[in-house]
Amino acid sequence: MRIAILDDYTNAAPTAADWGVLPNAELTPVMTSMMATEAERAQALLPFDVVVAMRERTPFPKSLIEQLPNLKLLITTGMRNFSIDMNAARAKGIDVCGTQMTPYAAFEHSWALLMSLAKQIPAEHQAMASGGWQARTGVGLNGKTIGILGLGKIGAKMARAAKAFDMNVIAWSPNLTKERADEHGATLVDKTELFETSDFVTVHMILSDTTRGLIDDRALSGMKKSAFLINTSRGQIIDEAALIGCLEDQHISGAALDVFDIEPLPTAHPLRKLSNVILTGHTGYVVQELFDLAYGQAVENVVAWRKGDPQRLLN
């Protein structure tokens, strides 16, 4: 049985789970996210019986699935993956199974980015590492307004953390109710007010047809010049070109981004050249505890599937 592990940038999978319980299994890392075309992905994945995919990295549309006659089991980290055509997989007799994910990693990363922006941590570290001292002036959080786009599980944690720092919490999303906002100590406002009054805007929404490009030039131009933007959700929720222009013109003080339109972010991408951004390479989920959980359950999924009783079946 040949198993492909996709897009494991830190090579965590081999030691995060006991793959040895799968006799005669050959484990192979495959970096499909580095491949430009679907044809390249199809060729790379053709030999494999089982594929373990990182959630919403490598897309599996019908066109790719139909080029993988050997594939019998597709496992995704997470219990949802909008980049897999579940119906096409079922039509080809491919079971798609999921794993659990840690519920706190993305929140922790979001708050770390917010604090890094406020306290200018990367610039201060670079100054100290190069022999300097006190490179920039940070800002306090006490009394500032945080605007949370999306008050789901992660957004609710952001609201609670903000309250601990004595921040004013406002929130908006297309379906957010006053009752939900009140429950988490936030004030429900409209989208325009959120962008115009927030000192920090943080994004915690699922990418969909209604959220793609939601943060456009109009929203960005309404922000305070002193404001900061944090995005750990999906890059396509923000109009990237508009954001780059906004940052280049220093219309806002800065942004911290963990997600991008194209991932991995191209080496010569304009965002890499800006001094008022903090960038991380979609590491909001990257903690050892998640790898232990997800890859451990991936092994469990393979064991159960081989017994004819697939677990955590998504299709």
**Which residues does the annotation mark as catalytic?**
234, 263, 282
215 DSSP β-pair partners: 238
Q: Which residue has the tokens 């609710």?
A: 156
Is the CB of residue 217 less than 8 Å from the CB of residue 244?
A: no
3-state secondary structure of 155: helix
Q: In degrees, to the nearest 5, what angle opens at C-alpha 137 toward C-alphas 239 and 194?
A: 35
C-alpha pair distances (Å), 244 with each of 97, 205, 236, 239, 253:
38, 21, 13, 9, 12
Whole-angstrom distance, CA of residue 178 vs CA of residue 292: 38
Whole-angstrom distance, CA of residue 6 vs CA of residue 20: 19
CA proximity to 293, closest of 78, 8, 107: 78
3-state secondary structure of 228: strand
Whole-angstrom distance, CA of residue 182 vs CA of residue 12: 40
Whole-angstrom distance, CA of residue 81 vs CA of residue 98: 9
Whole-angstrom distance, CA of residue 21 vs CA of residue 171: 47
Give one DSSP letter per residue of 68-88, joined into a string.
Answer: -TT--EEEESSS--TTB-HHH
* 216 alpha-carbon distance from chain centroid: 19
